[in-house]
């Protein structure tokens, strides 16, 4: 099912260059600061994937990697006929130089928005979805009169997904499963607000087999994921020769059957769904990058998350295995995946 709703997505701040001050304190063991936009942009991208899967059209308010002024973003929103706007952000408390106990998520709307009541309803729906597990403390749904909420001409909500000045929630920022969780809860809230059924992410039966000549929202989704994986193709909803060539290259890098057809195994890999493959030094692909981000989120340094299982990743895996009473063999099999998979956990500084 494809609908005529157009959903806007916005990620606060930027990475190239990083927005000054919008970062965590120095993360122990990793010895780096995580910039807020490292979470925001990934949550937005997963949100767009969820929207496309659910038959919704998308509009990226800030495709740039650098920060963009609020006035520019407001003008972009108001030049479109958007059904609603969802902005992704991460909270902070204090100076940001040291970690503290502030925690939890919240959503905001503006009572100055021309569709304030609908904005509040949208904020409440997303907040309710985020509240369904015990991972974080639900804080509040509240009024906040900032430009991206108050000066746009469509219902608008801001999702503050956690506190980057809280050590645990700072780690969440790098966890793909947490990014997906925030994105999916936000999309589910949008679907409830629109009164349309929500299509779950992790059921491969929801993904059609695509081949040369296929068209539609799932082709758009496929192309969008390929672009995020570095392939230069048009996202036009048409499975043409360039899309097929990019898909074949993706399949080759991920050790899949190189047939240019998006079937269950290709979709499973694109979405890094379980069951997870056994990985070892020399492995490449999406699951290796997922492994690297999971280790980093638990404060085990792997170097750049490049999808290549090299010496740094091997060292991080071995250390993780030793800390979790696993066989220290550097091979990521079922037992290691079991310990790695949950959001949260990992190394903590010695007091």
pLDDT tens digits for range 99-115: 999 999 999 999 999 99
pLDDT of the residue at 110: 98
Dihedral sign for Cα atoms in the order 262, 263, 264, 265: negative
Q: Which of 1-5, 51-55, 115-119, 192-196 has the lowest mean pLDDT?
A: 1-5
Is residue 279, in this structure, part of any structural domain at all? no
178 and 296 share one domain = no
pLDDT of the residue at 1: 82
Q: Cβ distance 231 to 251 under 8 Å?
A: no
pLDDT of the residue at 94: 85
Q: What is the average per-residue pLDDT within 40-54?
A: 98
67 and 188 share one domain = yes
Q: Which residues contact 112 (CB under 8 A, 6 or more apart)?
A: 145, 149, 150, 151
221 and 325 share one domain = no
Residue 63: pLDDT over 60 = yes
Residue 351: pLDDT over 60 = no
How would residue 232 be classed by pLDDT, with cut points 50, 70 and 90? very high
Torsion, Cα of 83, 89, 94, 98 (10° steps): 170
Last residue of a domain, one of 170, 194, 218: 194
Q: Cβ distance 10 to 87 under 8 Å?
A: yes
Q: What is the average per-residue pLDDT within 11-32?
A: 95
Give the CA distances from residue 191 to residues 42, 48, 149, 282, in Å, rounded to whole numbers and listed in that order.
20, 13, 20, 41
Percent of the chain clearing pLDDT 90 (strictly above) = 96
pLDDT of the residue at 97: 84
Mean pLDDT of all residues belonging to the chain = 97
Residue 314: pLDDT over 90 = yes
Element (H, E) at 6: strand 6-11
73 and 92 share one domain = yes
Q: How far apart are CA 237 and CA 143, in angstroms?
A: 38
Q: Cβ distance 285 to 307 under 8 Å?
A: yes
327 and 294 share one domain = yes
CATH number at residue 31: 3.40.630.40
Residue 328: pLDDT over 60 = yes
Q: What is the average per-residue pLDDT within 181-188?
A: 98
Torsion, Cα of 197, 182, 246, 341 (10° steps): -110
CATH number at residue 230: 1.10.101.10
Q: How many domains does the chain have?
A: 3
Q: What is the average per-residue pLDDT within 78-91?
A: 98
163 and 25 share one domain = yes
How would residue 350 be classed by pLDDT, with cut points 50, 70 and 90? low
How would residue 349 be classed by pLDDT, with cut points 50, 70 and 90? confident
What does residue 126 show for φ and ψ, rounded to 5 degrees?
A: -65, -45
Domain extent at residue 299: 286-340
Residue burial 213-246, b: 16+ Cβ < 10 Å; e: rest: ebebbbbbbbbbbbeebebebebebbbbeebbeb
How would residue 348 be classed by pLDDT, with cut points 50, 70 and 90? confident
């Amino acid at each position: 099912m494809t609908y005529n709703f157009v959903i806007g997505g916005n990620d606060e701040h930027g990475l190239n260059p990083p927005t000054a001050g919008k970062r965590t304190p120095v993360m122990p063991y990793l010895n780096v600061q995580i910039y807020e936009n490292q979470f925001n942009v990934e949550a937005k991208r997963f949100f767009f994937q969820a929207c496309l899967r659910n038959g919704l059209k998308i509009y990226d308010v800030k495709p740039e990697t650098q920060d963009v002024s609020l006035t520019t973003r407001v003008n972009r929103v108001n030049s479109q006929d958007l059904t609603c706007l969802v902005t992704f952000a991460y909270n902070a408390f204090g100076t940001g130089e040291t970690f503290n106990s502030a925690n939890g998520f919240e959503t905001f709307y503006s009572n100055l928005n021309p569709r304030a009541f609908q904005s509040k309803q949208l904020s409440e729906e997303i907040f309710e979805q985020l509240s369904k597990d015990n991972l974080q403390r639900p804080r509040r749904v509240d009024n906040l009169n900032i430009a991206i909420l108050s000066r746009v001409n469509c219902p608008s909500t801001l999702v503050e997904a956690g506190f980057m000045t809280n050590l645990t929630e700072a780690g969440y920022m790098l966890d793909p499963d947490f990014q997906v969780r925030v994105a999916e809860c936000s999309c589910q809230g949008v679907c409830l607000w629109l009164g349309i059924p929500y299509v779950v992410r992790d059921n491969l039966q929801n993904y059609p087999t695509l081949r040369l000549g296929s068209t539609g929202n799932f082709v758009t989704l496929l192309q969008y994921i390929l672009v995020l994986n570095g392939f230069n193709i048009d996202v036009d909803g048409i499975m043409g020769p360039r899309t097929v060539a990019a898909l074949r290259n993706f399949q080759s890098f991920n050790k899949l059957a190189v047939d240019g057809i998006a079937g269950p195994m290709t979709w499973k890999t694109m979405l890094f769904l379980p069951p997870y493959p056994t990985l070892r030094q020399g492995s490449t692909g999406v699951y290796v990058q997922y492994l690297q981000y999971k280790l980093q989120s638990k404060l085990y340094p792997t170097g750049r998350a490049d999808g290549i299982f090299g010496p740094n990743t091997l060292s991080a895996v071995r250390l993780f295995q030793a800390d979790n009473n696993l066989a220290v063999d550097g091979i990521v099999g079922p037992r290691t995946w079991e310990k790695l998979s949950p959001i949260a956990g990992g190394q903590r500084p010695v007091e």
